[in-house]
Amino acid sequence: MFRVQDETQADWWEVEALYDLCFAPGREALSSYRLRDGIDPVAGMSLTARDPQEILAGAIRHWPVRVGGRPALLLGPVAVHPTHQGEGLGALLIQESLARGAELGWERVMLVGDRPYYARFGFDVLVGVTMPPPTNPQRVLGADLVPGAWEGVSGPVERWPVHRTPVELDG
Ligand SMILES: CC(C)(COP(=O)(O)OP(=O)(O)OC[C@H]1O[C@@H](n2cnc3c(N)ncnc32)[C@H](O)[C@@H]1OP(=O)(O)O)[C@@H](O)C(=O)NCCC(=O)NCCS
C-alpha cells in the first residue's frame, strides 16, 4: 500500500511540511534540534513513504550524535500523516531505517519520545544519558543495534563533530 524510498533533495520541504503538520508548533525549539543544526542527516537512513497517489504519508530521518564520546544515532523526526496513523507505517519506517543503520555499522540508537510507543522496538530509558533541560529524563530512550551497545555508555548527548566518521570516533 505504501512505497518506501530514500528521501531525495526534492522531498526535503514536503517532509518538513509533514513534520509541521504532525508536531506541535515550535518543534524546532526543542533541544534535539540543537544537536541537528548545521549537520546533515545520516545518509541512507532518511526514508519517505508515499501512498498509491504519490501523497507523502510518512517520513523518518536520523542524525549522528555522540554520547560519552561514542557515536549514536538520534532517531527522528518520524511522523505519519494523521489520515494514515495506526496503520503500521510508523513501525515500518522505524524498523526499515534501523535495519539500514545496523547494516551501515551503527551500534546504538537513541531518541526523545514516548516509551509506551518505542518499547515495542526495543527502546528503554537510558539511565545516565542526559539531554539539555527541560527534557524529561524518562523520555530519553535507547536501543541496541548490536547486543550490549549501550553498556558503559553515558553522559551528555553532544553534537556530532563535523567531518568525522563513526569509525574515527569509535577507534
Ligand atoms: C508516533 C507516530 C510516528 C506513530 O506512527 P503510526 O504509523 O501511527 O504508528 P503504528 O501504526 O506503527 O503504531 C500504532 C500504535 O502505536 C500507538 N501509538 C502511537 N503513538 C503513540 C504514543 N505517542 N504513545 C504510545 N502509543 C502510541 C497507537 O496507539 C497504536 O497502538 P495499537 O497498535 O495498540 O493500536 C505517529 O502517530 C505520528 O506521526 N505522531 C505525531 C508525531 C510524533 O509524535 N512523532 C514521534 C515523536 S517522538
Query: Going by CA atoms, what residue is nearest to atom 21 of ligand 1?
Result: 117
What is the pLDDT at residue 165? 56
Mean pLDDT, consecutive 10-residue stretches, the chain (171 aa), reads 96 98 93 93 97 97 97 98 97 98 98 97 97 92 98 97 61 40
**b/e string for 110-127 if b means 16 or more Cβ within 10 A?**
bbbbeeeebeebebeebe
How close is the Cα of 129 to the center of ligand 1, in Å? 24
Cβ proximity of 108 and 150 under 8 Å: yes
Q: How far apart are CA 111 and CA 140, in angstroms?
A: 6
Of all atoms in ligand 1, which is nearest to the CA of residue 85? 8
Query: Going by CA atoms, what residue is nearest to atom 31 of ligand 1?
Result: 86
Query: Going by CA atoms, what residue is nearest to atom 24 of ligand 1?
Result: 117
Distances (CA, A) of 23 to 50, 79, 81: 19, 8, 10
88 Cβ inside 6 Å of ligand 1: yes
What is the pLDDT at residue 162? 81
pTM attached to this predicted model: 0.94
121 Cβ inside 6 Å of ligand 1: no
Query: Going by CA atoms, what residue is nearest to atom 34 of ligand 1?
Result: 86
The cell numbers describing 27, all together, are: 518543534
Cβ proximity of 109 and 101 under 8 Å: yes
DSSP E strand stretches across the chain: 3-6, 47-50, 56-67, 70-80, 108-112, 124-125, 129-130, 140-144, 155-159
What is the pLDDT at residue 164? 58
What is the pLDDT at residue 170? 53
Q: Which of 34, 48, 38 is nearest to 6 (CA)?
A: 48
How close is the Cα of 22 to the center of ligand 1, in Å? 11
Cβ proximity of 68 and 159 under 8 Å: no
82 Cβ inside 6 Å of ligand 1: no
Centroid of chain to Cα 118: 11
Query: Going by CA atoms, what residue is nearest to atom 26 of ligand 1?
Result: 117
